[in-house]
Structure 1
């Protein structure tokens, strides 16, 4: 298998997706957000492994539902924006004085609908980025590269992702067997009768898996010191608080948006150091690890370029990044468009999955 016919490292795809999602989170310009969604669709169509399911479509449908729901709720309840272009007026329900800030019905303006659609489209674009990363590299592949500190958690998640679909197949098998015996398989009582054989099969499978994992050395005792555990725990708590504070600062500019990114970076570094401290005393071996080459590095850089440019554009208040609440098409910053287009380059220079080439 040549270098052009392999699966790319899953961490590279997820870092690319997070960079593109960061870019989408910093703007409400519909042209840029639609371009982000288009980049996700393009890269997935060109570099997805055809032997695996494509979850991107489900994320796109969910995003469309979110946009529609947000617009409908804005028409019914409003969003606090009183525009000048009134499209129509709904029958208004009178409310008591203590609910004066809430309205049901009333005039619906074009400005309020556009504001709701732009804000909901931002969430839809973020979901598209996550769906694209999920389609290009499944979370199960990514869990193989968790640090040794999170090894037990990763093993539990992999087992859960593996056995969850089997529960559905067991339920179908039991339901088919009961149908052959004359049961219609409908109603809550019939569903309750399916629970016992399905859970019994799941318990037997879990016991067999536990026995096989124990025979291969999983869950062995580690020689750890109290000082090392205490240091790793303190770093993990401080890092988590830094990440949460940084994310809150990025999402809410009223609390100091300029401090959000530095706090997030510091939190990530501290949390990563806690994982490094734990991994230094818990060595783990890997089997058939995916290689990391120049294509993975460039993929991460393209996502970082898109995210970095849009974060800088938001902090510097470029024209068109956050459109004004007016009934007009917002201007589109050319540099922001170029940064998002850079994130589409992995559709050409990354290696193709082997089955797609065949």
Structure 2
């Protein structure tokens, strides 16, 4: 049985091409996808679903990340997530937990506290129920961090800067510089340690760290000077004159819109505020968009080769939104499956249709442009220009 010509054309159209500077996905698409996965992680404490979300994010990163310096940060976010889980368990053991339990694991020496510290204890009984609750809670936060790390590994910070409105361009430059400093510093440390190892010199110990740290700081300073010189040559910081009324209106709309976005986001993430969360979020987005559009009038920046949102970008961003929407709906339909109980101790169930919805997050691994092979041509730097007054 042969496929129809329409199906063949659709499969060829969705087949991932090789990534180039012209067809690279906008950074905003990757961030929307990752934020959708993070929203889904915030709606459940089921370790099976959280592990599936981490697996989906990891597979997409492994399939679509490049060899750029920022693409190597995903492993660091995984280590940070594991550290968060360990700290959460340590706090539960040392400081106790309000979760009642009958399965005693160990009894630690309890430190006597004064009367004004009632309700707080250090040491005492440690039960399996409180450890399991701490594990679920820490795993949720770790999954959020790993999802954000996936976006940081897949999205080019310079391309993300191009997507910002003109009113946020100055703040965006500071954020992008901060995001690119750490990956470049890690790459310098790895390069210097490899060079010392090839020369037969030690790479551990305080003396080796001091000898490696000086070249790393010197390279960071040179990059900072080069960035400052390029920004000055392009006329960075020049602004146009706008009437005071426009400035005041811009401040009111932007501040009010951002407050509405924060309140609406909290309402969507909280189980009790889902009713008012969506209207507040939409109203805040409208007000903030209007304020940012007015604020962009003072920016004289021009864009070189602006990013275009094509079908693939919308599919990547939409897959994350679908995962988040499905998990929110699952929380209202079957909350017990998404939040397994610990008193009494029960094994978490594996809800089928929320798990199937999480697998929609794998779509970027199919439709996003495939990165070049390791050792191939690197992505060309993104240029920014500004017009003078």
Quick check: TM above 0.5?
yes
Query: Which whole-Å deviations, capped at 9, do the CAs of 1:187-224 have from their partners, x for residues lacking one?
Result: 9xx99xx8xxx79x94x976775555444333333031
Q: Match of 1:353? A: 371
Query: Which whole-Å deviations, capped at 9, do the CAs of 1:11-50 have from their partners, x for residues lacking one?
Result: 1111100011000011101111010000011000101113
Aligned length: 340
Mapped to 1, the partners of 2:167 and 2:342 lie a distance apart of 48
Offset, 1:245 = 1.7
Question: Given the two structures, how large is their TM-score scaled by the length of structure 1?
Answer: 0.82
Structure 2 SS opposite 1:304: helix
Q: Match of 2:241? A: 223
Mapped to 1, the partners of 2:173 and 2:284 lie a distance apart of 25
Mapped to 2, the partners of 1:167 and 1:75 lie a distance apart of 34
2:52 matched to 1:35? yes
Offset, 1:147 = 0.5
Q: 1:3 to 1:120 in 2, by over 3 A?
A: closer
* 1:40-55 equivalence runs, <5 A: 40-52=57-69, 53-55=71-73
Aligned CA-pair RMSD: 3.4
Q: 1:89 to 1:297 in 2, by over 3 A?
A: same
Identify the range of structure 1 (63-72 vs 317-326) with the bigger mean alpha-carbon deviation: 317-326
Check whether the contact 1:82–1:112 (CA below 8 A) recurs between aligned residues. Answer: yes
**Runs of 5+ in structure 2 lacking a partner?**
1-14, 197-204, 377-389
Q: Match of 2:292? A: 275
Check whether the contact 1:319–1:331 (CA below 8 A) recurs between aligned residues. Answer: no
* 1:234-273 equivalence runs, <5 A: 234-253=252-271, 256-273=273-290
Structure 1 SS opposite 2:336: coil
Q: Match of 1:335? A: 353
2:26 matched to 1:9? yes
Q: Match of 2:85? A: 67
Offset, 1:301 = 0.9
Q: 1:4 to 1:101 in 2, by over 3 A?
A: same
Mapped to 2, the partners of 1:117 and 1:167 lie a distance apart of 30
Question: Given the two structures, how large is their TM-score scaled by the length of structure 2?
Answer: 0.76
Check whether the contact 2:45–2:139 (CA below 8 A) recurs between aligned residues. Answer: yes
Partner residue of 1:58 out of 67, 76, 79:
76
Partner residue of 2:342 out of 317, 320, 325:
325
Partner residue of 2:319 out of 290, 302, 305:
302
2:105 matched to 1:92? no
Structure 2 SS opposite 1:259: helix
Offset, 1:250 = 3.9
Check whether the contact 1:51–1:355 (CA below 8 A) recurs between aligned residues. Answer: no
Offset, 1:89 = 2.0
Check whether the contact 1:258–1:315 (CA below 8 A) recurs between aligned residues. Answer: no
2:92 matched to 1:79? no
Structure 1 SS opposite 2:315: helix
Q: 1:15 to 1:357 in 2, by over 3 A?
A: farther
Mapped to 2, the partners of 1:143 and 1:265 lie a distance apart of 24
Identify the range of structure 1 (114-123 vs 72-81) with the bigger mean alpha-carbon deviation: 72-81
Q: 1:287 to 1:340 in 2, by over 3 A?
A: same
Identify the range of structure 1 (324-333 vs 55-64) with the bigger mean alpha-carbon deviation: 324-333
Query: Which whole-Å deviations, capped at 9, do the CAs of 1:150-204 have from their partners, x for residues lacking one?
Result: 122223444555667579979x99xx9xxxxxxxx979xx99xx8xxx79x94x9
Check whether the contact 2:157–2:180 (CA below 8 A) recurs between aligned residues. Answer: no
Structure 2 SS opposite 1:354: coil
